[in-house]
Structure 1
Amino acid sequence: MNPGPLRPRTRSFSPPSRPFFGSTRAMAEPGEQLPEEVLALIFRHLSLRDRAAAARVCRAWAAAVTCSVVWHDTTISCDCEQEGTLLPYLSACLDHVHNLRLEFEPSKKPSRRAATELLTALAARTPGLRSLLLECRGEKPLFDAGRDILDAVHALCRAACALRHLDLRRLPFTLDDALVLQAARGCPELRSLFLNNCTLVGSVRPDSVLELLEACPRLRALGLHLASLSGTALQVLAAPDRAPFALLALRCACPEDARAPRLPEEAWAAVRRRHPGLAVELELEPALPAESVTRVLQPAVPVAALRLSLSGDTVGPVCFAALHYGATLRALEVRAAASAELDAALELLAARCAGLREVHCFCVAMAIAF
């Protein structure tokens, strides 16, 4: 049976009386579909640019993205934001920032300018800032001492009287006494201060550290270059009325560190008795000569983390740590040439340090030309 020629079949279609995904009002106001506290938990994980975009969606999202929960812990990268847009967007939210991690690249002028302007604005607007961590990315520009950044930090320490944590370890600039003294006088609630940064010159005098300890009785963690620490400071830490002290991070890398006098064993012993939970982190860099290493590594120091990147003997310090830091050492980092002697020293360390949790070895590969 011949069915005849095929003909196209047509079907009329009329749009639905209402949208598939709810009402037009629900589509225009998506913030009404979730509580503000849920939106805030989502928005706190967005970048500044995405937060700005979310704020333009609707009134509900704008209210959620500017609430204090979103801004309490904030990371800002000055390299990721368009020049000139950072401060205008942040102006309404600066009062809500309590813990700030600020990343910038000092060799790039726009990034550096944005970081300086933000720190200056914080100094003028945010007395409630609790924690500040500055992190430099990229390379430090030549012939630059970072004066603009340090001046902004100085102003912030003068204004943020509630500041409790200040971390400057990732700044490549030379830190000076003026900054430390301003932190001591302007931030009496400090709990931690880290000045043990990668600089070629150590300019913080022991007298400034002493004033810091006396002005900030609740300080629990302190990072310094070795030359900035004195026996008198250890005596202050060992005072009977001193609040519990938890961490002392010492970096030995500058010429001033190499010339630093040996700290009294009895002072270290007194600090250990007063603060039995004290952990000391030691970082020894290539600029430290062998005779200085023997002054730094003292049996009475409760070393919990030891980082060795020496140009001379490394086996000796590892053996010393195995013999004297068996009860306290938790982490070891070694940068040295591979050798049987180093292997034996590491085996001794592992056998004697029962609390050792991690060992990182970076062995230099020697290229030999034939």
Structure 2
Amino acid sequence: MQEPVDKLPEEVLALIFRDLPLRDRAVAARVCRAWAVAATNSAVWSDTSISCDCELEDLLSPYLSSCLDHIHNLRLEYEPSKKPSRGMATELLTTLASQAPRLRGLRLECRGEKPLFDAGQDILGAVRAICGAAHQLRHLDLRHLPYTLDDTLVLKAAGGCPELRSLFLDNHALVNSVHPTSVLKLLEACPHLRALGLHLASMSRAALELLAAPHRSPFALLALRCACPEDARASPLPDEAWATLSCRHPELEVELELEPVLPVEAVTRILQPAVPVTVLRLNLSGDTVGPVRFAARHYGETLRALEVRASASPELHTALEELAARCAGLREIHCFCVVRPSVLDAFRTHCPRLRSYTLKLKREPHPWRPTLVR
């Protein structure tokens, strides 16, 4: 007698298999011919997440290799400190590039520690190969790579990926090697780009002016990370260029992330009134009260999320209360120090759109979890 599961059509089996871990998909493909067909169905592989720590061993050939062409969006996770994990990630990306993939989106995520003497050239070389082969690539997210990203990678994307809609290079590397001229070439080659993440030193007035050009597609997000010595030395971007860009793209959102490497004078240059800041993350070694007050006075119409990592003080509490009163559209506030009760009351009272907050009235074990507003 035929089992009920054997009667399921291929489309239904594919919907089931797409939620299985990679190894379980491979096992399912060996059960019978019908399951093998369903396990290699393009619907199973269109959006795929792979962990190189436990899933790829003995799978890359032949089962996974035969399915790579069906992957449209890939999230690949690996541990750079583990040579087998890094090697598997490199092999998969290299194999994917060699098959002239129909890839639309690629997101790489590192877990664990970065090796002290590894510059990541194996992984970066594979990413460059992807950029040269996946001509339909629309989304490339490298924010979670710990390596120094450079002009070679950006120019490879500019030359091989004209359909790019989003590119995120604002990672946590200690050095920024993406020059503003490379960003200009990228913007010229990718007219449909809608979201861009960079270190501040990679941006320029010319880039802002190009983004504001009449022929550009609507631009939605600019994420700027300020965490390298190059960022601290970067020249300020003129207010008039920001104003022109905001006028051309009224829905533009700017995310600013400021790290401890920045001296006070650099923070003062970066925080400009004309920037439409929607997300502000402050993790400064110096004064934090001034930047919070500046945000309250100049970003009241645009600010949607604020993250503050600082030592508690009466001055900081007062600045936060002022920000709550001026930023009615705020949806998230996360402050990683103990605050006085009036701070929590201020955000609850003045921010009706608040969705989550981290405002602790007493010290708790870390990690601190946000409170969701229902």
Same-fold call, TM > 0.5? Answer: yes
Q: Which residue of 1 aligns with 2:185?
A: 211
2:68 and 2:101 in contact (8 A); partners too? no
**Letter paired with 1:326:** G
Q: Which residue of 2 aligns with 1:250?
A: 224
1:194 lines up with 2:147 in the alignment: no
Q: Which residue of 2 aligns with 1:160?
A: 134
Aligned partners of 1:328 and 1:350: how far apart in 2? 13
RMSD: 1.1
Aligned partners of 2:197 and 2:61: how far apart in 1? 31
Q: How far off its partner does 1:316 sit?
A: 0.7
Aligned partners of 1:83 and 1:94: how far apart in 2? 16
The structure 2 residue matched to 1:97, chosen from 71, 81, 84, is 71
Aligned partners of 2:61 and 2:166: how far apart in 1? 28
The structure 2 residue matched to 1:40, chosen from 14, 26, 31, is 14
Aligned partners of 1:126 and 1:139: how far apart in 2? 32
Long gaps (5+) in structure 1: 1-22, 366-370
Aligned partners of 2:319 and 2:11: how far apart in 1? 55
1:174 and 1:199 in contact (8 A); partners too? yes
The structure 1 residue matched to 2:125, chosen from 138, 151, 155, is 151
> Secondary structure of the equivalent of 2:310?
strand
User: What does 1:26-175 align with in structure 2 at a 5 Å threshold?
Assistant: 26-27=2-3, 31-81=5-55, 83-175=57-149
Long gaps (5+) in structure 2: 339-362, 364-374
Q: How far off its partner does 1:341 sit?
A: 1.3
Q: Which residue of 2 aligns with 1:344?
A: 318
Q: How far off its partner does 1:31 sit?
A: 4.6
> Secondary structure of the equivalent of 2:337?
strand
**Letter paired with 2:272:** Q
Aligned partners of 1:110 and 1:50: how far apart in 2? 21
**Letter paired with 2:318:** A
User: 4+ residue runs of structure 1 moved beyond 4 angstroms?
Assistant: none
String of CA shifts for 1:118-150, please: whole Å, max 9, x gaps: 000110114310000000000000111100000
> Secondary structure of the equivalent of 1:323?
helix
Q: How far off its partner does 1:190 sit?
A: 0.2
Aligned partners of 1:89 and 1:339: how far apart in 2? 59
Q: Which residue of 1 aligns with 2:207?
A: 233
Aligned partners of 1:174 and 1:346: how far apart in 2? 35
Q: Which residue of 2 aligns with 1:296?
A: 270
**Letter paired with 2:308:** V
TM-score (norm 2): 0.89
1:104 and 1:115 in contact (8 A); partners too? yes
> Secondary structure of the equivalent of 1:70?
helix
Q: Which residue of 2 aligns with 1:324?
A: 298
1:87 and 1:118 in contact (8 A); partners too? no
TM-score (norm 1): 0.90
The structure 2 residue matched to 1:335, chosen from 278, 302, 309, is 309
2:184 and 2:206 in contact (8 A); partners too? yes
Q: Which residue of 2 aligns with 1:9?
A: none
Aligned partners of 2:29 and 2:63: how far apart in 1? 10
Q: How far off its partner does 1:353 sit?
A: 0.7
